[in-house]
């Protein structure tokens, strides 16, 4: 396909595809799927080889959130039967993190529900970061605490945080349909605060919430403009008890096309398969490793994931290798003087690759074939952080 040859060439040059080209990836047929995966795989291997970075989530505070994000099991008014607990103590969080690190993770993601941290919360998380790094000097720590106030990103960096996650989730034009208690602009502001503080910015999306192809392309192009170092791609987990419980819009093929589109638009960025991969990719998960260079190991915030041992076997069986603690994830042009060394306020550059192209007015929105609901695959997390049971790592 001429389209795929063009996208590979642009990806190897770090040049942004047009919006029409990104839409065309999402509109490819199932007969073309392996060609799409192979093409995006060339870009992935060019920048990241066959390495897979492992990340591990620690949910510092679960449930009881005042925000109304429709996709979230921890939201205000959620009836999902999830674990609910207040802040873990630093030593508890450090023990939880140690399980993931022992399983091969090189980054620990510290997450807490809520609109955003108070200054006291930043102190708590700072103590937790220090406790983790005292035991594991080389570990990367990413914080995900919601909307940041002025000065909080700098304090987290001083405490030893390497990165900050705050996802855009969906397009600006549809954001108000998903969340009403804060705005899309609030989220963009927090990503920029992380950048300005010298933290490696991590920001991604959630697919499967009923969005159009145009919405997906819009949010990925917005992410490219924000220039995060890592882009987590979540696939909606339709928790019973949340407003989106009936949204089963994804097939494994659809998920692969989305990951391929993200890789073409963000060729030299860490693309991470995040929540929902087991639910929606299922037996196609190994193919997704040809598109993404990063995954979460084990369980997620409120749902159980694939067994950590199975993750490691999947990576090996697919011909990939776990990225070691001493290896640098990002290509050299993104780490030299950037977030890898905490100098400067920008991470890498996109020479010749600003946000370009527009969606033709006549371009139709490709609709995904509805996936069969599989609530049996949505398992609430009952182990690990906040419980007395051993974590899955």
Query: Which residues are annotated binding-site positions for [2Fe-2S] cluster?
Result: 109, 142, 202, 272
Residues of the binding site: 65, 69, 72, 109, 142, 202, 272
Point out the catalytic residue in the list 187, 272, 334, 381. 272
Does the annotation mark 50 as catalytic?
Answer: no
Query: For residue 69, how many C-alpha atoms fall within 13 Å in the half-sphere facing its CB?
Result: 25
Does the annotation mark 142 as catalytic?
Answer: yes
d(CA 308, CA 104): 9
Point out the catalytic residue in the list 69, 144, 339, 347. 69
Point out the catalytic residue in the list 14, 19, 44, 65. 65
Residue with tokens 């102190």: 123
Maximum pairwise Cα distance, the chain: 57
- Provide the β-strand partners of residue 56: 108
Does the annotation mark 282 as catalytic?
Answer: no
Does the annotation mark 255 as catalytic?
Answer: no
255 exposure class (CB count in 10 Å sphere: 0-12, 13-18, 19+): buried
d(CA 223, CA 237): 22
Point out the catalytic residue in the list 14, 142, 224, 277. 142
Point out the catalytic residue in the list 72, 144, 266, 347. 72
Which ranges of the chain would DSSP assign to H, the alpha helix?
Answer: 2-12, 19-26, 33-48, 90-102, 119-135, 152-159, 175-178, 184-196, 213-226, 252-265, 277-280, 285-288, 308-317, 332-335
Point out the catalytic residue in the list 19, 157, 202, 255. 202
Residues of the binding site for [4Fe-4S] cluster: 65, 69, 72
Does the annotation mark 334 as catalytic?
Answer: no
Point out the catalytic residue in the list 75, 107, 109, 277. 109
Under 8 Å between Cβ of 111 and 88 = no
Residue with tokens 């939880």: 96
Does the annotation mark 266 as catalytic?
Answer: no
Does the annotation mark 356 as catalytic?
Answer: no
Q: What is the 3-state secondary structure (H, E, C) of 166-228?
A: CCCECCHHHHHHHCCCCCHHHHHHHHHHHHHCCCEEECCEEECCCCCHHHHHHHHHHHHHHCC
- From its phi and psi, is residue 198 left (phi > 0), alpha (psi between -120 and 50) or beta? left
d(CA 295, CA 54): 5
Q: Nearest 5 degrees, angle CA 191-CA 106-CA 201?
A: 10
Under 8 Å between Cβ of 222 and 172 = yes
For 163, the enclosing helix (H) or strand (E) is: strand 163-165
Which residues are marked as active site?
65, 69, 72, 109, 142, 202, 272
């Amino acid at each position: 396909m001429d389209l795929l040859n063009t996208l590979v060439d642009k990806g190897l040059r770090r040049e942004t595809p047009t919006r029409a080209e990104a839409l065309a990836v999402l509109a490819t047929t199932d007969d073309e799927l392996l060609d799409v995966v192979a093409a995006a795989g060339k870009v992935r291997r060019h920048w990241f080889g066959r390495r897979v970075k492992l990340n591990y989530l620690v949910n510092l505070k679960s449930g009881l959130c005042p925000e109304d994000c429709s996709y979230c099991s921890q939201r205000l008014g959620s009836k999902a039967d999830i674990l609910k607990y207040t802040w873990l103590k630093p030593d508890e969080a450090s023990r939880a993190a140690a399980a993931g690190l022992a399983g091969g993770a090189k980054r620990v993601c510290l997450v807490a529900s809520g609109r955003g941290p108070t200054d006291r919360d930043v102190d708590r998380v700072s103590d937790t970061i220090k406790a983790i790094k005292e035991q594991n000097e080389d570990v990367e720590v990413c914080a995900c605490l919601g909307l940041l106030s002025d000065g909080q990103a700098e304090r987290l960096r001083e405490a030893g945080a390497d990165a900050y996650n705050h996802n855009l989730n969906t397009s600006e034009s549809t954001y108000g349909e998903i969340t009403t208690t804060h705005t899309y602009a609030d989220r963009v502001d927090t990503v920029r605060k992380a950048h300005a503080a010298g933290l490696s910015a991590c920001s991604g999306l959630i697919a499967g919430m009923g969005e159009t192809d145009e919405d997906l392309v819009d949010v990925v192009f917005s992410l490219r403009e924000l220039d995060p170092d890592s882009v987590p791609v979540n696939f909606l987990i339709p928790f019973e008890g949340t407003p989106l419980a009936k949204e089963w819009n994804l097939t494994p093929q659809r998920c692969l096309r989305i990951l391929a589109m993200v890789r073409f638009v963000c060729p030299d960025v860490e693309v991470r398969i995040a929540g929902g991969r087991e639910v929606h990719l299922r037996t196609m998960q190994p193919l997704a490793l040809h598109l993404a260079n990063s995954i979460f190991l084990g369980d997620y915030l409120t749902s159980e994931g694939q067994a950590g041992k199975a993750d490691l076997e999947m990576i090996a069986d697919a011909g990939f290798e776990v990225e070691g603690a001493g290896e640098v994830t990002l290509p050299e042009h993104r780490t030299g003087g950037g977030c890898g060394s905490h100098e400067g306020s920008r991470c890498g550059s996109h020479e010749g690759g600003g946000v370009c192209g527009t969606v033709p007015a006549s371009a139709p929105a490709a609709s995904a074939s509805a996936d069969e609901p599989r609530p049996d695959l949505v398992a609430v997390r009952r182990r690990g952080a906040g419980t007395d049971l051993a974590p899955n790592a």
